[in-house]
Amino acid sequence: MGAGATPAAGGAGLDVMLKGKVAIVTGSTSGIGLGVAEVLAAQQCDVMLNGFGDEKMIAALQARLHRQFKVRIAYNGADMTNPDEIHAMVRATRRELGSVDILVNNAGIQHVAPIEEFPRAKWDAVLAINLSAPFHATQAAIPHMRKKKWGRIVNVASAHGLVASKNKAAYVAAKHGLVGLTKVTALEMAGQGITCNAICPGWVLTPLVQKQIDDRAKDQRIKVKEAEIQLLSEKQPSLQFATPEQIGKMVVFLCDPAADQITGAALSMDGGWTAQ
């Protein structure tokens, strides 16, 4: 879950609203995606998990979430680089859980290198998972949402969907593209009970970010904690990481009737990063 307490089952007010809803959260066996899945489950939403992990780990995760929140937890191992598997995952969610109400496009990968050294295969993979996969999942989910005249699509973008950093050409391009896809989806779905928004976190302490911290510590021969503070101080004025739980709670807010007129937005959760 990252920092903060594990959400309690139920919740005040929103639990009734999300009870009976079904969410797909891609990249949800760890990191931000798992945090989002846990918060949705705490609000009595059934969840289709997706992501990496061995069979025993995933079975244990499903069992824990079901036991803790008393909701249905399914899993689909769709490869986010394969459009056919993504469409099949959405169909499986409808078949196994009965609906597709909420889609959280969270799966992502990163590679860091100067443009002239950037491996072509890494460029293709980053674009495929961070940008093309949300397109295919959205395309597959929309017909199910239209039938119910209600749907919430939330794209987990990044501060790098709004601003750039050196050596992250593929990631920045993909996340900028995801913010653009969010806007187009919102316009096409306007007035149909379906909203689409992007959440743009800054640094969140996930395995992806931890690797960057560890690499920095190794390269500079400094302590990991010092590398962590260096990382935050360069970009994030709050000097604190956002947490997966906070991002999950933002997803839940976007499902609330109070957010009915929030669509096509890129919502920063970056400790002031993009305010500079």
Q: What are the φ and ψ backbone dihedral angles of 151, each rounded to 5 degrees?
A: -170, 150
CB 31 within 8 A of CB 233: no
Query: In the prediction, which pLDDT does 11 show?
Result: 42
DSSP type of residue 163: S
CA dist., res. 183 & res. 198, Å (int): 9
If asked whether residues 23 and 157 sit together in one domain, one would say yes
* 238-271 CB burial, b ≥16 within 10 A, e <16: eeebbbbbbbbbbbbebbeeebeeebbbbbbbbb
Residues 164 and 216 in one domain: no
249 and 194 assigned to the same domain: yes
Residues 73 and 100 grouped into a single domain: yes
Q: Is 146 exposed, middle or buried (0-12, 13-18, 19+ CB in 10 A)?
A: middle
In a shared domain, residues 228 and 246: no
Q: Is residue 274 in a domain?
A: no
Is there a single domain that holds both residue 104 and residue 225? no
Residue 223 placed within a domain: yes
Nearest to 105 by CA among 25, 159, 45: 25
- Residues in the chain, how many? 276
Tokens representing 118 are 């950037």
Q: Which of 123, 171, 241, 273 is catalytic?
A: 171
- Are 26 and 121 in the same domain? yes
Residues 52 and 188 in one domain: yes
Decide if 157 is inside a domain. yes
Residue with tokens 């593209």: 177
In the block, residue with structure tokens 């305010």: 275
> Which pLDDT score is estimated for 124?
98
Domain membership flag for residue 5: no
For residue 75, indicate whether it is catalytic.
no
Residue 142 CA to residue 134 CA, distance in Å, equals 12
Q: Is residue 50 included in any domain, yes or no?
A: yes
Q: Are residues 179 and 227 in the same domain?
A: no
The answer to whether residue 53 is domain-embedded is: yes
pTM for this entry: 0.92
How confident is the prediction along the chain (276 residues), in pLDDT tens digits per residue?
443 444 544 444 444 579 999 999 999 999 999 999 999 999 999 999 999 999 999 999 999 999 999 999 999 999 999 999 999 999 999 999 999 999 999 999 999 999 999 999 999 999 999 999 999 999 999 999 999 999 999 999 999 999 999 999 999 999 999 999 999 999 999 999 999 999 999 999 887 788 889 999 999 999 999 999 999 999 999 999 999 999 999 999 999 999 999 999 999 999 999 999
* Domain membership of residue 221 as a residue range: 205-240
Verify that 56 and 168 share a domain, yes or no: yes
What pLDDT score was predicted for residue 3?
A: 38
Same domain, 181 and 213: no
For the chain, how many structural domains are there in total? Answer: 2
pLDDT the model gives residue 16: 53
What 3-state class would DSSP assign to 224?
A: helix
> Is residue 160 located within the same domain as residue 59?
yes
168: β partners: 113
Distance from C-alpha of 184 to C-alpha of 1, rounded to nearest angstrom = 31
Query: Residue 166 is part of a domain; what is its CATH number?
Result: 3.40.50.720
Q: Are 138 and 86 in contact (CB under 8 A)?
A: no
Is residue 8 included in any domain, yes or no?
A: no
Element (H, E) at 33: helix 31-42
Tell me if 18 is assigned to some domain.
yes
